[in-house]
Structure 1
Amino acid sequence: MPYTIDLSNRQPFASGYNRQCFRHPENPLLCLKVLRPENIEARFHRQSFVKKLLGKRRIDDNVQELKAHHQSAIRQLIAQGQAETVWRHLPRFHGSVQTSLGAANVSELLQDEHHQPAETLEQYLQRQGFDQPMQEAVRRFCDWLQNTGILTRNLLPHNLVVVEREHQPELYLVDGLGAPSIPDKLAAVPAWRQRYISRRIQRFYLRIEWELSDRQQSWEHSQKL
């Protein structure tokens, strides 16, 4: 019988609509991402009839994340011996395990100097604003996206965490990797991929502006380019 990690008496350190994040009970340097099945079910029932025909796997964030780590850009970098480039702005990924709460994706738990889960970019902006160190960190992160060709969904501040590296802040994408609606053959075309990434970066800067605004306009209105 396969080993199951018991999370029954554990509290998540972070919760989103679709998933919860737990410290691995046997290795505090690892994060376990577990689906919230009740919310996945509710999300599925809100889908149109046509989308329901595609099944629940397309809205299973763990399945989509596993697939995202096998996208062509990441596979090529690893095959070329450039794995460290991949993990420059992504937590190291360790696949999937079984827990008492269901399947969990396992990744590196990014921490602050007090060994607590690192703060999100959203929290940093609320505390520090878009100061010079963070402007430079965002530029390095965006350069990494363009140089590697790694695809993401829209870049949201609560899906990025801030970690101190060599006396400067660096951004790591902890959720939203991959472009599930994009066919693999199209994603492999360099020119198309660069246009797609440039669009994500434009929206990212708009989102940062919106986070720091009075938010009188909704994000949905503000993001229109």
Structure 2
Amino acid sequence: MIDLSGIEPFASGYNRHCYRHPDDPALCLKILRPENIEARFQRQAWPKKALGRARIDDNRQELRAHQQQAIRALIKDGHNELVWAHLPQFHGAVETSLGLANMSELLFDDHGVPGETLEHYLKHRGFDQPIRDAADRFCKWLLETGILTRNLLPHNLVIIDRGGQPELFLVDGLGAPAIPDKLATLPPWRQRYIGRRIRRFYLRIGWETGDRSTSWEASQKL
């Protein structure tokens, strides 16, 4: 068991805390915040409550997302490098003193600098050509691999310098939990699904870099 006594998270979202592995600072440990999970569960309407708490367990969903058909097939065929070209390497669930954690690569660039989120980059530097090119490579990778994601949100993408150019890495939002496994195995359906995620991604970037006079939710209804 990994002892996290006295260690503070280096980052936190609403549902999870992120810790550095005490014996290997190149690894990230994601641990649920049970109090927030419970509060989120209690806010839901009763039909969703009937589905249980597991459906809002981000660690459980992340484990399932890494078992999706596209990733399994690529790894089975020896294409590990392609899988991790735009994802942090994932090492599964481990026991810690704070409960189960999902363990994955902590992303640094070639100079040992932690990556910034695409959201932060867009806010301060806009959608410039290097990041346009990085976004294009990322989207082509999605289409090539058939890896399924949820909606691609800029705060869930991190920019890492690799080989002298920026690359986008998806650190949250992998998988499509509402999609039946059998449907996800059909290449034409996967391509249409990914194409919709990509179109929505660019719309979101346009909103992030625009005047944001309306909310993201309202902008989609215009």
TM-score normalised by length of structure 2:
0.96
The aligned counterpart of 1:223 is 220
The aligned counterpart of 2:117 is 120
The equivalences for 1:96-107 within 5 A come to 96-107=93-104
Deviation at 1:6, TM superposition (A): 2.3
Query: Which of 36, 41, 45 in structure 1 is aligned with 2:33?
Result: 36
Query: Which of 58, 63, 66 in structure 1 is aligned with 2:60?
Result: 63
The aligned counterpart of 1:53 is 50
More off after superposition, 78-87 vs 47-56: 47-56
Point out 4+ residue stretches in structure 1 off by more than 4 angstroms. none
The aligned counterpart of 1:148 is 145
More off after superposition, 19-28 vs 168-177: 19-28
The aligned counterpart of 2:72 is 75
In 2: Cα distance, 1:91 partner to 1:192 partner: 26
8 A Cα contact 2:117 2:157, kept in partner: yes
Q: What do residues 50-107 of structure 1 show as CA deviations (whole Å, max 9, x unaligned)? A: 2212111111000000000000000111111111110000000000111222211000
Deviation at 1:180, TM superposition (A): 0.4
In 2: Cα distance, 1:224 partner to 1:78 partner: 40
In 1: Cα distance, 2:109 partner to 2:142 partner: 24
Deviation at 1:161, TM superposition (A): 0.4
> How many matched pairs?
222
Q: Which runs of 5+ in 2 are unaligned?
A: none
Deviation at 1:33, TM superposition (A): 0.7
Deviation at 1:223, TM superposition (A): 3.3
In 2: Cα distance, 1:156 partner to 1:12 partner: 23
Q: What do residues 141-180 of structure 1 show as CA deviations (whole Å, max 9, x unaligned)? A: 0000011100000001110100001100000000000000
Deviation at 1:117, TM superposition (A): 2.9
In 1: Cα distance, 2:5 partner to 2:191 partner: 44
Matched, 1:84 2:81: yes
Partner SS, residue 177 of structure 2: coil
Letter of the structure 2 residue corresponding to residue 164 of structure 1: D
8 A Cα contact 1:206 1:222, kept in partner: no
In 1: Cα distance, 2:152 partner to 2:67 partner: 19
In 1: Cα distance, 2:162 partner to 2:118 partner: 15
In 2: Cα distance, 1:38 partner to 1:117 partner: 29
Partner SS, residue 207 of structure 1: helix
Letter of the structure 2 residue corresponding to residue 200 of structure 1: R
RMSD, matched Cα = 1.4
Matched, 1:212 2:187: no
User: Do the aligned partners of residues 220 and 186 (structure 1) sit closer, same or farther apart at CA in structure 2, a change above 3 Å counting?
Assistant: same
Deviation at 1:113, TM superposition (A): 5.5
Deviation at 1:112, TM superposition (A): 3.9
TM-score normalised by length of structure 1:
0.94
In 1: Cα distance, 2:104 partner to 2:87 partner: 9
More off after superposition, 14-23 vs 115-124: 115-124
Q: What do residues 185-206 of structure 1 show as CA deviations (whole Å, max 9, x unaligned)? A: 1111111111110110011111
Partner SS, residue 97 of structure 1: strand
Identity score, percent = 69
